[in-house]
Amino acid sequence: TTNHEGPVPFTAPIESAYTLTLPVRAEVVSDGFVDGCNHIVTVAVYPTTYSPANGTVMPASRLTVTLNYDDCTAADLKDTPIFPPRRSRHINVGDMVVNAQRMSSRQYAPAAAPLDTMCDRYYIITPRSLADSFRDLAAWKRQKGYDVVIKPIEDIYADSRYAIGGTFTVGGRQENIVDSAASLRAYLAGQFQEYGSYFCLLAGDYRTPMPIRKVYKYSRSSTNPNEYYSNYNGENFIPTDNYFSDFTSDWALETYYGCSELTCTVQKYNPDIAIGRLLCSKPEEVRNYFYKLKVYEAYPGRGNDDYLSNAFYFAEGNMRRNVQLRELPIVLNKFKPFENTVVVADSCYFGVETLPHKGNDVINHMSRAGFSSLHAHGSPATIECCYNWQFIVPQDWYNLTETALDEWADRNRMPGRGFDNLNNKDYPSIVYSTACITTPFDKFEYSTAGTDSAGTEIELNGGHVFDIPYNFGSSFTVAGDYGGPAYLASSRNGITDKTAAMEAEWGVFVMNNIKIGIAEALSKYVYYHNYATTTHHLIGEPEFEMWINKPGRMEVNVRNTDSDVLVTSSELEGSTVCVFDGKGNKIVRNPSASGAMLQHIALLSHYTLSVWKPGFLPFIRFYGTHGTLSDFDEKFIVLDAEIGEQYTGTLPVGRAFCVGSNAKLTIEAMKAVNVNRSCIIGEGGVLTIAGDDKVTLNCTVKRGGKLKVAAKSIQMGSGFTVEPGGMIDIQYK
């Protein structure tokens, strides 16, 4: 996709294409590593003989493929593994290969972790100005069992181990720290070597100190040098987070074609960690994103989750440039699992004024879907819906100044074509797009046409600069109360059928309930194309699963003994059970069908209990049982909560749950909250409840204690008492 218009020049035929005979064959197309240790070879098999000269195709009746290899040391390999062969933390290699049945003797599936094992790790790298805004996301991940690190990027820059001018070692290879992007890579590589695979969210757009690494790839067929050739914000320099997630490859940095910035050529991708990026610069944008994530993961549609069974596949095309119409079947042949699927393949063409698919039509289809697949020509501010000039835009108010369109091109503009018209606040969704440049990390700049001294047309600088509030990726994820938690798209040009093939592979992985960031990484590895793999990214956080149709329901029963908690459910097998008290976690992964016994949990004064299973809505509840909180400040984000114990008559000795001196307990709940009779808010204590549904109060607020409640419905029971000097703040949403 480019901004080129006008007649398409004639392409002369390649004579060799009509004389060669292409035999039945197999060839290695990729040879590298996943997760720093798993060596995977990708082989292309061509089961037919094709002779263009005489127009014949001869299929093979039987085909045997043999892969020859030599034993060697790790140092003999072009890409050196970082670890010895071992089980992956997050990836089942069997999901990636076609001969998984022959891997039974190789332990390549993630090991089931016993109780009290080391938590998986999750990193949030962000400017210091946004660090506090990510506390809710960190709490959410800790409740899922992750050891979360919020690391300000400024702290990495200030650390002598990662300072510019130094070096670091990864996989036995020394790399120079030449700029801020290399500083971040040094830190992430060090954490990978110490802890193994982890999830990583890079948060911050080009307006913040967050670094961007770009790699060089000239995307046009012409090799004539020109001014735009070396424009660092132009189409030839690709922003890529592959650099921050692949520590196996050697990213040799240098300067190219007079550009002063350090970069490198496109590299083969060996994914070591799952990574995502949020293009944000304001605290409210982080809050917008987290709302979509928690609703999507735990309470989609706030109980009305039928929309997750709806999918929308769109292909813009026309009689002159109809590649999108050809690429859509590549996806649908592998990834069409939804119960209700709408496929719109537009065939309108240049010069015809009928508008079968308007921009607002596309937005309306997207607003009712749990997943949308967009195949069209694009830019940071336009995705083409019909060749007689219909577009969708990141924000409905965008006009010619933001879109770089002219009056004639945008002559059919209609209201309601912006992502901000999705109106899906409680129905967040996922978008995968093959369109070009819809989510650049930088201020992408178009070229402008010119001629050299010989009269040859060349590309010059001075074209439109997309310094806009939001591109498609940032609009969908952080701009407002619409969109969803993931937008997967390109930071530079897409490669039509190649990106579509990558989407098909991604779809196969998400159908297997693989985390969305891992699915993106593996799809770029399994279907490797040097350009498409480099430019396509996940905008959003990498650690959640995409819903494929309506989620299953999991009835969970929790029973306390004197010191232990027994969790039972008919759907418990294959789940993860996590207890978090604000300080540490206890985790049971893949418990037995008979139940998960959590020892000594009943001795805790408070905790969240979470049960997560792919394909099922989670169970997330806060329990405030007994004991006194003091010198405490913690927030828990849950579906529902039981604060204190329900009882009648005299409170048993030692069973009160007290929010005491200098204690601040905050509960944010999407469903019901019961504040029961054994809950006491003592002097110097503050209990804050942010409820999206009903809050029932039967607690006691002592002198000097404070209760703050904001909810849609607040019921004060017969046991609710506010003593003289106690304070309450009640607000209805």
Note whether 472 and 367 are same-domain residues: yes
Query: What is the average per-residue pLDDT within 8-34?
Result: 72
Of 482, 476, 542, give the one whose Cα is nearest residue 515. Answer: 542
**Range with the poorest average pLDDT among 263-272, 319-328, 368-377:** 319-328
Note whether 472 and 497 are same-domain residues: yes
Question: If you ran DSSP here, which 8-state letter would residue 401 be given?
Answer: H
pLDDT of residue 351: 45
Q: What is the pTM of this model?
A: 0.89
Note whether 208 and 130 are same-domain residues: yes
Q: What is the mean pLDDT of the chain?
A: 87
**Range with the poorest average pLDDT among 66-75, 422-431, 499-508:** 66-75
* pLDDT tens, position by position, 580-595: 998 887 888 878 877 8
Supply 243's token pair. 């650099």
Distance from the Cα of residue 479 to its chain's centroid:
16
pLDDT of residue 292: 98
**Range with the poorest average pLDDT among 105-114, 173-182, 500-509:** 105-114
- Give the chain's domain count: 4
Residue 486 confidence (pLDDT) above 80: yes
Residue 245 confidence (pLDDT) above 50: yes
Q: Which band of pLDDT confidence, cut at 50, 70 and 90, is reported for residue 40?
A: confident
Query: What is the average per-residue pLDDT within 71-75?
Result: 76
Note whether 515 and 597 are same-domain residues: no
pLDDT of residue 2: 40
Selection from 99-108, 357-366, 500-509 with the highest mean pLDDT: 500-509
Of residues 57 and 474, which shows the higher confidence score? 474
Query: What is the average per-residue pLDDT within 37-41?
Result: 76
Of residues 602 and 399, which shows the higher confidence score? 399
Query: What is the average per-residue pLDDT within 470-491?
Result: 98
Strand boundaries in 153-273, DSSP class E: 167-170, 173-176, 199-203, 214-216, 237-239, 264-265
Q: At 363, is the secondary structure helix, strand, or coil?
A: helix
pLDDT of residue 18: 67
Residue 712 confidence (pLDDT) above 60: yes
Residue 341 confidence (pLDDT) above 70: yes
Give every CB contact of residue 415 below 8 A, 6+ residues apart in sequence.
360, 396
Q: At 232, is the secondary structure helix, strand, or coil?
A: coil
pLDDT of residue 5: 46
pLDDT of residue 639: 98
Residue 242 confidence (pLDDT) above 80: yes
Q: Which band of pLDDT confidence, cut at 50, 70 and 90, is reported for residue 320?
A: very low
Residue 21 confidence (pLDDT) above 80: no
Q: Which band of pLDDT confidence, cut at 50, 70 and 90, is reported for residue 224?
A: low
Question: Residue 276 domain-assigned?
Answer: no
Structural domain ending residue among the three candidates 56, 71, 103: 103
Note whether 490 and 599 are same-domain residues: no
* pLDDT tens, position by position, 410-435: 888 889 999 999 999 999 999 999 99
Query: What is the average per-residue pLDDT within 233-258?
Result: 86
- Return d(Cα 140, Cα 143) in angstroms, integer: 5
Question: Residue 10 domain-assigned?
Answer: no
- Return d(Cα 668, Cα 677) in angstroms, integer: 20
Query: What is the average per-residue pLDDT within 192-205?
Result: 94
Residue 469 confidence (pLDDT) above 50: yes
Note whether 219 and 88 are same-domain residues: no
Number of neighbours of residue 30 by Cβ within 10 angstroms? 17
pLDDT of residue 39: 78
Question: Residue 286 domain-assigned?
Answer: no
Place of tokens 């999918």: 311
Question: Residue 140 domain-assigned?
Answer: yes
Note whether 210 and 150 are same-domain residues: yes
Q: Which band of pLDDT confidence, cut at 50, 70 and 90, is reported for residue 85?
A: low
Note whether 524 and 666 are same-domain residues: no
The residue segments making up the domain with residue 258 are: 120-265
Q: What CATH number did the domain enclosing 188 receive?
A: 3.40.50
Selection from 458-462, 623-627, 644-648 with the highest mean pLDDT: 623-627
- Return d(Cα 522, Cα 412) in angstroms, integer: 40
pLDDT of residue 348: 58
Structural domain ending residue among the three candidates 242, 265, 288: 265
- Return d(Cα 421, Cα 415) in angstroms, integer: 9
Question: Residue 517 domain-assigned?
Answer: yes
pLDDT of residue 326: 77
pLDDT of residue 103: 60
pLDDT of residue 89: 64
Note whether 212 and 314 are same-domain residues: no
Question: Residue 367 domain-assigned?
Answer: yes
Residue 596 confidence (pLDDT) above 80: yes
Note whether 438 and 564 are same-domain residues: no
Note whether 252 and 318 are same-domain residues: no
**Range with the poorest average pLDDT among 120-134, 170-184, 473-487, 554-568:** 554-568
Percent of the chain with pLDDT over 90: 58
Residue 14 confidence (pLDDT) above 70: no
- What amino acid occupies position 26? A
Q: Cβ distance 124 to 148 under 8 Å?
A: yes
Q: Which band of pLDDT confidence, cut at 50, 70 and 90, is reported for residue 717?
A: very high
* Three-state SS sequence of 639-704: CEEEECCCCCCCCCCCCCEEECCCEEEEEEECCCEEECCCEEECCCEEEEEEECCEEEECCEECCC
Note whether 152 and 98 are same-domain residues: no
Q: At 461, is the secondary structure helix, strand, or coil?
A: coil
* pLDDT tens, position by position, 662-704: 999 999 999 999 999 999 999 999 999 999 999 999 999 999 9
Question: Residue 114 domain-assigned?
Answer: no
pLDDT of residue 688: 98
Question: Residue 196 domain-assigned?
Answer: yes
- Return d(Cα 264, Cα 257) in angstroms, integer: 11
* pLDDT tens, position by position, 291-307: 999 999 999 999 999 99
Q: What CATH number did the domain enclosing 335 receive?
A: 3.40.50.1460
Give every CB contact of residue 177 below 8 A, 6+ residues apart in sequence.
162, 163, 164, 165, 166, 167, 168, 183, 186
